[in-house]
Amino acid sequence: MKKLLLLITILLVSVSLFAVPYASKIRVTPTNFPPGWGSSISYIINESGGTVTIDIIDTGSALTVATFSGTATVGANTVVWDGTSNNAGGTQIGEGNYKVKITVSASKAAGWVEIASNSSTYNTVWPSIYQTIWLGYSPMDVFTPLDPDADNFGIIGTTCGTTTLIVGVVNFNADLSCFDGANGSTLTLKANWPTPAYTDMWGTDFDPDDAETVWIAGQTEPYDLSKGKWNDEFVTNVTDASNPGLTAQYARSVAMKKSGSDLFAYMCAGNGAIWKCKITGGRIDQTPGNAPVNISGITTRYSKNLEFDDAGNLYFGTRRLVTPGDGTGGAIQRWDASIVDTAVAGTLTDVNASWLVQFPTGALNVTGVAIARDGSVYASVQSDTTAGTVKGVYLVGNVSSATNIKTLTTGDRIIAFPLAFTPSAYAHCLGVDYAGNVLFADRSNEQIRCWGPQGNTSIEVGAPLSQDIEIAKLVSAKNWALYE
C-alpha cells in the first residue's frame, strides 16, 4: 500500500513594500483524489481589481508544473482545477508532493485610499462593502496576525464592549466580511462574566508562544485581563480580585512579551500607569516578589495603547500631554527593550525614552498605535480643536530609528479623517495587516475601515498555508475508487 501526499503549502516570496492585495484562508476540496481528478481551490482576497495566478510547484525540484488563472473578486473565490498543467486539459499532473502558491497582483495609484469598509449605511460618499455591524458593537481595538503560516492569517480580530453586555471579540476576513459566514452580531470570543458585571474590552494581543491564544484587557476589575483561544466560545478571566492598582483606572491596552522563559502582560491604565504583570500558570502572579508593578514614571497623560516591535522595544501612546481639552496633542514614546525588561516601579520616564513624538497642536485624542511588517509605526488622532484639520492617521517613524524626538505636522498625516468621520472620543483602534493596509475601528459608527497604501507598479504577495490533500494512484476502474 502506498499513498503519496500532495501538500498544499505556502511558497514564501519576497514581498515588496506597500503590497496591498493578498490571498488568505486557502482551502482545497476534496482532500483525497487520484491523479487527473483535480480539486476545487478556494481563497479570500482583500481587494478586487487585480489578477490572480495559481501555481502548482513540485517540492522536490522546486519547478512549477502547472500555472493557471484564478478569479479576482474581493471576498471568497473558488477555482476548479482539472489536475492538468494549464487547467484546460493540458498535461496531467502525476503523483508527488507539491505546493500551491496563490499570487495577487494589482496596480495602485499613488496615495492612500480607502479600499474597504464593512458598513453599508455609514455615508453615501464612502464605499459600501458587506454588512453593518450590529448597533452597539463599539469596537475598541483591531488586531491581525502578521505570520503568513498561521491558520488565522488574513483574519482581523476586533475587541468590543457595549452597555448592553455585548462584550467580546469578532473576527472578520481580510475583505472585512464576517469570518466563516457569521453575521455581524456574532462574537467569536464571548465575555462570560456574570450579570450585572460589565466591562469594555479595550485591548488585545496574541500569546508569543501560541498564535491561537488571545489576551484581552478589560476596564473593570476583576476583569482587567482575560484570555481565550481563537476559536473558543468564551474567554477566561485570569485576574484575581485582589489585583492592585488597576481598580477604577481601567485597563486600556495589553501587550504580551517573553523575557527568557517568563511571560509578561503589560497593561496601561487611564492614569498614565503601565503595569508589568508576570503570568504564572496562565494567570497574573500575585505572589510576593512577582506581583504587578507600575513601571511608568508618567502621571500627566492619559494612557491609550501599548505595542512591542520585534526587537522588544515598547511603544506607548498617550491621549494628551497636559490636561483634558487643552489642545496640546498627545505623544508616542518608545523605551528600549533593555530598559523595559529590567524595569521596576517608576522606571519609564520622558528622560530615558528613546522616542518622544508629539502630535500637532489641536490634536485631542491620540489613540491607536500600530506597527507594520516593514517597521513603519502609525498612530491615529481621532478628534481635534481645529475643525478636522488635524485628525487622521500619521506615520510616526520606523522601528529602525534608534532615536526619534520630534513634533509631527499635518505633513506626516497619511490619511485624513473628513468632518463626516466622527469616531467617539473613547475609541481605541488601529491595526496594520500583513500587506501593509491600515485598519481602523470606528466606535461611533460600529464599523471597520481599511486604507491601502501607495504603489504604482504591479506587486506580488504570496498566499498562506492551506491544508494538505492526498493524491494516490487509482488501480480500479470502479467508481468506488480502490486505492493501492
What are the residue ranges spanned by the domains of the chain?
A: 4-109+459-471, 113-452
* Contact status, residue 239 vs residue 266, Cβ threshold 8 Å: no
Q: CA 470, CA 484: separation in Å to the nearest integer?
A: 13
| Predicted pLDDT at 399 | 97
Per-residue pLDDT of the chain (484 residues; tens, 9 = 90+): 333 333 333 333 333 334 468 888 777 787 667 888 888 888 888 877 788 999 888 777 878 889 999 998 888 899 999 989 999 999 988 887 777 788 888 776 667 888 777 765 444 443 333 445 655 667 888 888 877 767 677 788 888 776 555 678 888 887 787 777 666 666 788 877 665 555 678 888 999 988 788 998 887 767 788 898 876 778 888 887 665 556 556 788 899 999 999 999 999 887 788 999 999 999 899 888 898 899 999 877 777 889 999 999 999 988 765 555 454 668 899 999 999 999 999 999 989 999 999 998 888 778 889 999 889 999 998 877 777 888 899 999 999 999 999 999 999 999 988 766 666 555 668 999 888 889 988 777 777 888 887 665 555 666 665 566 566 665 433 333 332 2
Q: What is the pLDDT of residue 109?
A: 66
E strand or H helix at 331, and its extent?
strand 331-335
Distance (Å, whole) CA 314 – CA 253: 13
- From 3.10.20.30, 2.60.40.10, 3.30.530.20, 2.60.40.4070, which CATH number describes the 4-109+459-471 domain? 2.60.40.4070
Question: How would you label 330-350 residue by residue, b for 16+ Cβ within 10 Å and e otherwise?
Answer: bbbbbbbbebbeebeeebbee
Q: Do residues 168 and 160 touch, judged by C-beta distance below 8 A?
A: yes
Q: What is the pLDDT of residue 441?
A: 83
Grid cell 491601502 in the structure block, residue: 452
Write the DSSP symbol of residue 317.
E
- Tell me the whole-structure pTM to 2 decimals: 0.84
Cβ neighbour number for residue 111 with a 10 Å cutoff: 13
Q: Give the integer Cα–Cα distance in Å for 62 and 55.
A: 11
> DSSP readout, 138-176?
-EEEEE----TTSTTTT-EEEEE--TTS--EEEEE-TTS
Q: What is the pLDDT of residue 197?
A: 57
Strand partners, 5: 470
Q: Which CATH architecture has domain 113-452?
A: 6 Propeller (2.120)
* Whether the domain at 4-109+459-471 and the domain at 113-452 fall into the same CATH topology: no
